[in-house]
Every structure is written in structure tokens, then in C-alpha cells.
Amino acid sequence: MSWSRSCPVRGVLLSVLCFLLPLQPASAEEVAMADQPDVIETPEVVVSATKTPIPVKEVTSAVEVITGEQMQQRKVRTVAEALRLAQGLAVFQSGGPGTLVDVRMRGGTPEQTLVLIDGAIVNSATLGSYDFANLTSDNIERIEILRGSQGMMWGSDAMGGVINITTKRGRDTPKIAAFAEYGSFTTIREGATISGKKGAFDITAALTRWDASSFSAINYRRGASERDGFHNWQGSVRLGVDLPKDGRLEFNFRWMNGITNFDGFAFNPATFTSDPADVLGAKSTSQQYVYSGSYLQPLTNWWSQKLTLARATESLTSYLGSFQRNLVTGVEDVPFQTASEINTTSNRVEWQHDFQIAKPLALTAGYQFREQLGENLDTLTGATTIPTKIVSSNAGFAEAKLNLSDRLFGTAGIRQDEYNTFGSATTYRVTGGYLHKETGTKLRGSYGTGFRAPTINQLYFPGFGNPNLKPEKSKGLDIALEQSLLSDRVFLSVGYFWTRYQNLILSVFDPVGCASIPDTQGFCAQNIGSSMAEGIEANAKVQLVRDRPWIKSLDIQFQYTHTSTRNETDNANTRLPKWPLNQWSAILSYQPIEAVRANLEGRFVGQRFNDTSNDESLPHFYVWNASFTYDLNRTVQVYGRADNIFNRKYEEVLFFGTPIRSVFGGVRVNFDMPL
């Protein structure tokens, strides 16, 4: 038996890691390949950082990638579950499946994170944020999380960063797959997928359903007795055609239909506050459609262009219920009878051109048209709260990219947006990085600006909207050191970030400032807020063992985020709501043999405040989940997942419920299609 250890560079840290990572027997394959030429592997690429595919080692921005394969191995059901374990994010849900999920990035608010699905902007035109409640992980190829002020490339809403979600692409032999799952909270999930490539055509198409009940939105430990239900349908298609001369035509479609029962709050006249309430009959129905198409065509060996057309629509209807019980006072009454329907549309057209000016220099330039439409209706009275309003913009952007000898990297770009509501916004961004290939060490840094256009609600909502609002603004920097060791079996990174938010839009009582706005009665939205966030982001990925007896693979991934925030509005100097000082997560993946895999994942969230005045404190919590898969053969897989295995009692959002110990199991089948 021959033995191998991959330690190409010597040093104290490397020697320690070599000692910790066990010697591995050289496999027969390794022995046979010892005298063969190196195998060329396609490097992992990132698109969101520059809107062009670049290898990860050349990226000079803070980016994290979560693949569909990783989510499938861990049996992650929703995108929100995957994002919970990512760096720099605070992800909290107001109850069980289907209830509101907020995603914050680097001290920002949910409205300051731009979310795209297959090139379509899905942030709400009326609220500004994207609710991840109905987005499952089914048929998703990858999630790219780009942290930092990204207005230069992506425009409005990218003040804290960008989350870019891509549907799976059909590859290899056409096949059909199906799954069925049952578990706690009377959960039933099932779905089917067709995918593959034949000649120049490729396709993936998926349809899934998810039903759950027996989960109270308001924490049942606070006395809520009614259990709320969730019903979700989701369909997606990605169809592509390879064209001559490396061209490609692609069409994407995603449909999400969610029906969710929820709880709310009841007014307490004795304290003039709102108390948590168990509400019967409260329900929301959401219909979301996401369409996009793209045409990519190289025009010469140094010039290529890509045209993207995208549209996202949502119709959200809500009814506040027929009966409620105040969980603090015990008073039972009928909630205020109202029902609303919010219809929003987001259109995006972008034409991008990429030029290879010389070997070390490339240029990306483009034009984007963005349009958001929204209306608000009272379905009980038939009245129109907000008639259809439009916020639109035209933008031009350009970025230069430098690559010197695959060691020195840099980008510099500028963007100009012209809006129909407030005028113009100029953003810019510069990044740089140096890779010492001999030791696998990379130093990178960036500085950029961002902005967020006022939403339709902030501009036009009766008794509150202010048509004179200006955009929110941000500026931020980060610097990080990354280290690859032992032939990329170990990856370590640690970085510092700083972000400043200004001109934040807040709702205030100001009779003088709001006097010129009709029907506000002294209460309106104004650009008076400011805040700051800074912190540390650290990450480690280690392939502990490979190809040992009963250990085909053993991997661990760990991330830590420290986020210090400060509300600088009116010299408040309080911490920003919903932001914990410390968070960490860990994923341990063990594969004893090819057919079996087990995962253990943990998450810690530190103490945080639920309100801006820092009066409502939420304690820290940790939660651990486990999952396993067993491939009975090439066709059939059985799997299971246990959430909150130590049955921790905690709340992500004050008053709202979280899962007790819960167990789910299912079976997945996969067949090749003889085409």
C-alpha cells in the first residue's frame, strides 16, 4: 500500500493542518494516473459580481454560492432555509411555513437587498422587499449571494447586496424524477421533474406541491390554540437552444401559488399597545409569475452581446379574519374588517455588451430599462386605495476589468440612473485583488455605493406617502484575506466590512414638514434616517477525509458573522432592530459509502432587539438539524430530516412560533428516458 499526503508548501500553519488531516492511502486510480497528464477541470464561476462568468479565484467581491446539489444533499426545502446559514445575512420568519420571511444583509433592511430570479427583479413595487415565504428549493441550480453596496452593476435596491437565483439547466441524458414526503405538522410534499438535453435543445420542467397544518403562526407557548395551514404549488421551466457560433437562446418561467393562514395583533386600550392575538380565518393568497428570456451571441472573437427581457408579477390578497382572542388580556372580539388586494409588476430590459480590449483588459457596458407598477384595492368595499402607479428608470453602466497574469485583478465602474419620480442617481464601484498562486493566498477589497428608489407606497399611499422623497443611499467597503491549502482541500477566509446608510425613508410625525402633502395630518414619510454597520465575516471549508474505510468523504463548513449596527437618526445611537451582534453556522457532511450520506447542521443567533428603541429584547438561540440519504440503487433514494433535534424553545421574531422537534421522511425516484 502506498500513502500520499498533499502538502506542496511548507510552513507552520500548513504543517499543523497536514498533521491534523490524516494520511490517506493512494488509491489505485491515483497510482495509475501518477504518470499521466493533469486532468483539466472547469473552474467554478461567479456571474453576479461582474455580470460575466469569472472563476472564483479571480473574484474581488464578497460572494457566496449555494448550489442546488448542496440543498438536495441536505434536503433543504426552501431558499430561506439555505440562506439562514450564509454569511452576512439575518433571515427571520414570522411563524410557520408560508409566513413572512425577511432577509437582511450587512446591517440593511429587507428593502435594501435586491433579489433576482432568472434575471427578473422580484422585489415588490409597493413594499420594496421580497418575501421568500413561497420560494422552495425545487429546480434551483444555484444561489449567488453578493454582499456589499452593488448599485453600480445592479441599480436600485442593491444597497446591502444582491441575491441572484438561477433555475436548473437541462444536461446529459433526458430523465424524469419524482418524490413524495410526509412528516410533522401533517406535512405532505410531492413533485416531479423532467430534465435533459437532446441535440441543441435542453429543458428542465418541475411541478411540486406542499401542504402543512397544525403550526400556529403566533407562538403556541404564548397561548395560541388555533393551528394555521399552508398550501403551496410551484412550477418552473427552463428551455434553452444552442445557436450557431456559440450563441444561446433561453426562456425561463416560474409560478408560485401560496395560501397561508396567519395570526396577528389586537389593540389593548389599557396600555395603548398591540398584543399578540390568535386570529381565526385570517388568510393570504399569493400568485406569483416570473418570466424571462435571454439571447446571447458572440459577434466577433472579442465582442459579445446579451439581451435580457424579464417580467415578474404578483397578486396578493389578504383577509384579517372573523374572530380574534387577545393572548394577554383574554378579550375576544372581531378584528377590523378589511381585505386588500395588491397587484404589482416589475419589468426589466437589459442589453449588455462585453469587449475584450486586450489580453489583460475587458470592458462591460450596457443599458437597462426598469419599470415597477403597483395598485392597492380594498376588496370588501371595492374602493381603490392606490390606483395604478409607475416608477420607471433608464440606466447606462460601464465597468472595466483587469487581469494581469492571473495574479492581479481589479474592476472599476460607474452607472447613471434616471427616474421618472425623483431625478437621477449616480453610483460607482472599484475592487482589487492579488493572488499569490504559489501559496494560494488572496487579498481582496472593494468600495462601492448604492441607492434605493422610494417605493410606490412611500410615494403615494394615502395619509402617508410623500411624492417629494429622494432615494436612500449607501456606501460601503470591505477587505478580506483568503487562503487555500492542501490542494484546495482547505479554504479559509476572514474579512472586515463597513457600510453607511443615509437619507433613509422613515415614517414620522412632523406637522411642519408634512404640511404641503394633502391628507397626511402631520404624519408622512421623510428622508431623515441614517445608520451604520460594520463587522467581521469569517469562513472555513475543510475536506477532512477522503476515501478511507467507511469514510468516503467527511467535510465541515463553518461561518461566523459579527455585525455591529448603530441607529444614527436623531443621535439615537441604538442598535438596529432584528440585527444580532453574533451569528454562526456549521455543516458537517459524512459519507461512509457512495450510497449513504448524513448531514448535521447548526445555527446560532445572538441577542437582538425587535424594535428601534431597543426596549424589546430577544434572547440568543441555537438550533441543530440532521438529515440523511440512502440510495437503494441507481433509481430509488430514501431520505429523512429532523429539525430542531434538541427541541429548543426560541423565537426568531417576537411573539411568533418556530418549529418544535420535527421529523420528515420521503422517497425519490429517478429514471432515464429513452429518447
Does the pLDDT value for residue 34 go beyond 60? no
Residue 11: pLDDT band (50, 70, 90) is very low
Among candidates 622, 656, 632, which has minimal Cα distance to 84? Answer: 622
pLDDT at residue 234 in the model: 97
Which stretch of 92-96, 102-106, 334-338, 453-457 has the lowest confidence by average pLDDT?
334-338
Average pLDDT on 586-613 reads: 97
Buried b (16+ CB within 10 A) or exposed e, 574-603: bbbbbbbbbbbbbbbbbbeeeeebebbbbb
The share of the chain scoring above pLDDT 70, in percent, equals 93
Question: What digits encode the pLDDT tens for the residues 151-161?
Answer: 999 999 999 99
CA–CA separation, 98 and 262 (whole Å): 9
| Residue 32 pLDDT > 60 | no
Q: What's residue 571's pLDDT?
A: 86
Phi, psi at 214, each rounded to 5°: 65, 30
Which is more confidently placed, 515 or 449?
Answer: 449
Which grid coordinates belong to 310? 424579464
pLDDT at 39 > cutoff 70: no
Query: Going by C-beta distance under 8 Å and a sequence separation of 6 or more, which residues neighbour residue 193?
Result: 138, 139, 176, 177, 178, 204, 205, 206
Residues 241-292 have pLDDT tens digits of: 999 999 999 999 999 999 999 999 998 888 888 899 999 989 999 999 999 9
Q: Report pLDDT digits (tens) over 195-245.
A: 999 999 999 999 999 999 989 999 999 999 888 999 999 999 999 999 999
pLDDT of the residue at 78:
97
Instruction: Read off the pLDDT of residues 360-402 as tens digits, 9 standing for 90 and up.
Output: 999 999 999 999 999 998 877 778 888 999 999 999 999 999 9
Confidence of residue 662 (pLDDT cuts 50, 70, 90): very high
Q: End-to-end distance of the chain based on CA atoms, in angstroms?
A: 45
Mean pLDDT of 58-80: 95
Average pLDDT taken over every residue of the chain:
91
Q: What is the dihedral of CA 541, 542, 547, 552, to 10 degrees?
A: -50
- Check if the beta carbon of residue 577 is closer than 8 Å to that of residue 610: yes
- 3 state DSSP class of 73: helix
Give the Cα separation of 512 and 521 in Å (integer).
10
Residue 321: which pLDDT band, with cuts at 50, 70 and 90?
confident
* Mean pLDDT to the nearest integer, 431-441: 96
DSSP state letter for 31: H
Is CATH 3.40.50.300 the classification given to domain 3-29+59-672?
no
Sequence-separated (6 or more) residues with CB below 8 Å from residue 608: 575, 577, 578, 579, 580, 581, 617, 618
pLDDT score, position 379: 78
Task: Report the SS3 class of residue 570.
Answer: helix
- At 525-573, the pLDDT tens digits run 999 999 999 999 999 999 999 999 999 999 999 999 999 999 999 888 8
Cell numbers at 193, concatenated: 421533474
Residue 21 pLDDT exceeds 80: no
pLDDT tens-digit profile of 458-503? 999 988 899 999 999 999 999 999 999 999 999 999 999 999 999 9
Average confidence (pLDDT) over 566-593: 95
Question: Are 256 and 134 contacting, i.e. CB atoms less than 8 angstroms apart?
Answer: yes
Over residues 499-534, the pLDDT tens digits come to 999 999 998 888 888 888 887 778 899 999 999 999
Nearest partner of 339 among 314, 321, 313, 323, judged by Cα: 321
pLDDT at 115 over 60: yes
Domain boundaries, the chain: 3-29+59-672
> What pLDDT is recorded for position 578?
96
pLDDT of residue 383: 80
Could you tell me what percent of the chain has a pLDDT over 90? 82
pLDDT computed for residue 462 by the predictor: 87
Amino acid in position 240: G
Position 63 pLDDT exceeds 80: yes
pLDDT for 666 equals 97
**Cα–Cα dist 178/318, whole Å:** 33
What is the Cα–Cα distance from 51 to 56, expressed in whole angstroms? Answer: 13
pLDDT at residue 43, as a whole number: 58
Q: How many CB atoms lie within 10 A of CB 38?
A: 6
Cβ contacts of residue 302 below 8 Å, gap of 6+? 355, 356, 357
- Find the mean pLDDT for residues 426-436: 97
